[in-house]
Amino acid sequence: MEILPILVPVKTGKFDLYHSFRVSGFEFEENDILVVSSKYISMSEGSVVNLNKVKSSKKAKIVSAACHINEKIVELTLREADYIFKGVPGFLLSVKDGILAPNAGIDKSNVPNGFVVLYPRLPFKTADNLRRRFLIDMSINVMIVVADSRLMPGRIGTIGVAIANAGFEPTEDQRGNKDLFGRVLRVSFKAVSDSLATMAVAVMGEGNESIPAAIIRGIEVTSTDRKLSWLDTTVWADQDLYLRGLRS
């Protein structure tokens, strides 16, 4: 297995996502898995917001004072989040597209001062469209992962998480299999897309590397042409160990 970085110049403004990879000089191959930073996709869509143009609501100002967060970031979080559990100093613990994400995934890194980047608008659709561009233009199957970095509870540092994918099944159901001692697995799923995202994020970095994507080559996944959504990768809050703890 290989993990190969794709370097591109720093970009500002909207741009064609597929074209940016075609002109990168990277040689794509059949059954490559292209892992793309969610921020890079958001930038291609123009989902970068000037905070000076955000009007804060009364609610945002109240939450801002209570949680010591920029009121305009609070306002954007209120607009973007599907659900907000609670606030802690500096962050609102929220869910966006089925993923637990501080401040609904809104981020100030790798964008100009005074701006923030939002999550991609329709990440699964974007992933599927990107895959189809490779099929139509190059006649090769390139599977897609849209990746973000995430803190793990109780751990230092970030790992990768897949907020969308296309071309392969994002999870592997291992229920009914047996462990080393013959016990039947009853609840185990393998998070395939999340594991791939973590592999690529380790290569892509978090700072000024200018590596918004990476190719994972030589790994087997279960291919699919079906339309995927966040419902294929998430569990409801009342079934999730961490979210149940937050709610209580």
Domain extents for the chain?
A: 2-47+120-234, 48-117
Residue 24 and residue 34 in contact, taking contact as beta carbons nearer than 8 Å: no
Residue 179 and residue 185 in contact, taking contact as beta carbons nearer than 8 Å: yes
pLDDT score for 179: 72
pLDDT score for 98: 83
If we measure between CA atoms, which residue out of 77, 76, 166 comes closest to residue 125? 166
Residue 61 and residue 70 in contact, taking contact as beta carbons nearer than 8 Å: no
pLDDT score for 122: 95
Q: Which CATH number fits domain 48-117: 3.90.1660.10, 2.160.10.10, 3.30.342.10, 3.40.1030.10?
A: 3.90.1660.10
Distance of CA 10 to the CA centre of its chain: 20
**Structural class in CATH, domain 2-47+120-234:** alpha beta
pLDDT score for 70: 94
CA dihedral (95, 99, 100, 102) positive or negative: negative
Residue 216 and residue 200 in contact, taking contact as beta carbons nearer than 8 Å: yes
**Which positions of the chain have pLDDT values less than 70?**
174-176, 178, 180-182, 184-188, 206-209, 237, 241-243, 245-248
Cα dihedral 103/109/110/112 (nearest 10): 90
**DSSP characters over 135-181:** HHHH---EEEEEEEEEEPTT-SSEEEEEEEEESB-SEEE-TT-B-TT
Distance of CA 87 to the CA centre of its chain: 22
